[in-house]
Amino acid sequence: MLAQLKGMNEMLKKVATNIAASTSEIIGYDVIITDETGTIIAASDKDRLGIVHEASIPVIKNKRPLTIRPGYIDHFEGTKPGFTLPIEIHGNIIGTIAITGERRNVEKYGLLVKKHAEIMLREEILVESSLISQQAHQQFIKEILAFEANQSSENLLKTRSFELGFELKPPFICVAVEVLNMDDIIRGFSDSRYHDESLEVRIQRIKLTILKEIQFVFTHKDLSTYMGDDKFIILHKGGDSSHSYGELSAGCKQLVKRLDAKSIKGIIGIGGAADTIPEIKRSNREAWKVIEIGKKHRGTERVFHVNDYQLETLLQSMDPDSMGMLKREMKQLLVSDDWEDLSQTIKAWCDSGFSKVDTAHSLHIHRNTLQNRLEKIEEITGIHKKDFRRMLYLYLGISLMEWKFIGM
Same domain, 166 and 24: no
Domain boundary among 271, 291, 314: 314
Domain boundary among 86, 121, 156: 121
CA dihedral 158, 163, 166, 170 (to 10 degrees): 0
Same domain, 181 and 288: yes
Residue 270 lies in a domain: yes
Q: Note the pLDDT of residue 363.
A: 95
Same domain, 107 and 198: no
Same domain, 309 and 323: no
DSSP code for 52:
B
Residue 61 lies in a domain: yes
Q: Note the pLDDT of residue 383.
A: 92
- CATH for 97: 3.30.450.40
Same domain, 113 and 172: no
Domain count, the chain: 3
Q: Note the pLDDT of residue 134.
A: 82
Same domain, 179 and 82: no
Same domain, 176 and 269: yes
Domain boundary among 314, 334, 367: 314
Residue 127 lies in a domain: no
Same domain, 185 and 294: yes
3-state secondary structure 322-347: HHHHHHHHCHHHHCCCCHHHHHHHHH
Same domain, 182 and 115: no
Q: Note the pLDDT of residue 110.
A: 80
What's the sign of the alpha-carbon dihedral 71, 72, 74, 77? negative
Residue 134 lies in a domain: no
Q: How many CA atoms lie within 13 A of 330 on its CB side?
A: 25
- CATH for 196: 3.30.70.270
Residue 129 lies in a domain: no
Residue 302 lies in a domain: yes
Residue 137 lies in a domain: no
Same domain, 299 and 385: no
282-316 burial, b at 16+ Cβ within 10 Å, e below that, comes to: ebbbbbbbbbbbbeeeeeeebbbbbebbeebbebb
Residue 132 lies in a domain: no
Same domain, 158 and 277: yes
- CATH for 352: 1.10.10.2840
* CA dist., res. 106 & res. 147, Å (int): 61
Same domain, 263 and 341: no
Domain of residue 213, residue span:
146-314
| pLDDT tens-place values along the chain, 408 residues long | 455 556 566 767 777 888 888 888 888 889 989 998 999 998 888 888 898 888 889 889 998 888 766 555 556 766 788 888 898 887 888 889 889 888 778 878 888 888 888 887 777 777 777 777 788 888 999 999 988 877 668 888 888 888 888 889 899 999 999 999 998 888 776 555 555 566 777 788 888 889 999 999 998 789 999 898 899 999 999 876 766 788 899 999 999 999 999 999 999 999 999 999 999 999 999 999 999 999 988 778 999 999 999 988 888 888 989 898 888 888 889 888 899 999 999 999 999 999 999 999 999 999 999 999 999 999 999 999 999 999 999 999 998 888 877 776
Q: Note the pLDDT of residue 172.
A: 94
- Burial of 175: CB neighbours in 10 Å, binned 0-12, 13-18, 19+: buried
